[in-house]
Amino acid sequence: MSIRTYHPRGGRLSGRHHDALDRLHDVYGLAVAELPTPLDLAALFGRTAPVVLEIGFGMGDATAAMAAADPGRDYLVVEVHTPGIANLLSLLERDGLTNVRVAVGDALDLARRCLPEESLDAVHAFFPDPWPKSRHHKRRLIQPTHVALLRSRLRRGGRLHCATDWAPYAKVMLEVLTADPELVNTHDGYAPRPAYRPETKFERRGVRAGRPAIDLIFERR
């Protein structure tokens, strides 16, 4: 049995969010466990375009903003947090976005079973759970075997972009990503936050608590 890199969370849903789930899941939503192998990305989005895989999008505000500003690429985004999924669905409808599909389930399972090698333009892993206790480090998303899997799904020149506000995890991320033989750092160490990644409420809370965000952007050779 594989070890989960996430902690399934429920949460209260507003009436608006219940409505979004009921009406919009069949429009934008997917269940990872039910996806075919391999997944036909062109058929999924109705066009042939570069695809970004985003792992864990929180409440989805940043995801919607990135997709709106980047209409030439399609966003396959994965989350397990029901209120966040519902919120993103409502944002997609509000903004009329057609370049996002919302997968519910395990992102690593999606990558492993459904995504062909070299099928992605980018992978975004913004603020994954740092699992700070030593006994939980095995649950971290950014570790060698997971990075090798995600990197294999990137095209040559595709980018793996991570961000965290947990400095010890950032250090480990840098070590793991640097050690991958097919990834090269696009900066000397950590990267400045690029303009395309919006600052989130979660990130601003971390800054106020003395935990500034740290970005790492690596490219597949």
- Residues recognised as catalytic: 129
Q: Which residue has the tokens 């070890």?
A: 3
The Cα 174–Cα 138 span in angstroms is 17
What tokens appear for 25 in the block?
Answer: 């899941």
Three-class secondary structure of residue 31 per DSSP:
strand
Determine contact, residues 68/97, Cβ cutoff 8 Å: yes
Listed residue (213, 180, 196) closest to 122, CA to CA: 196
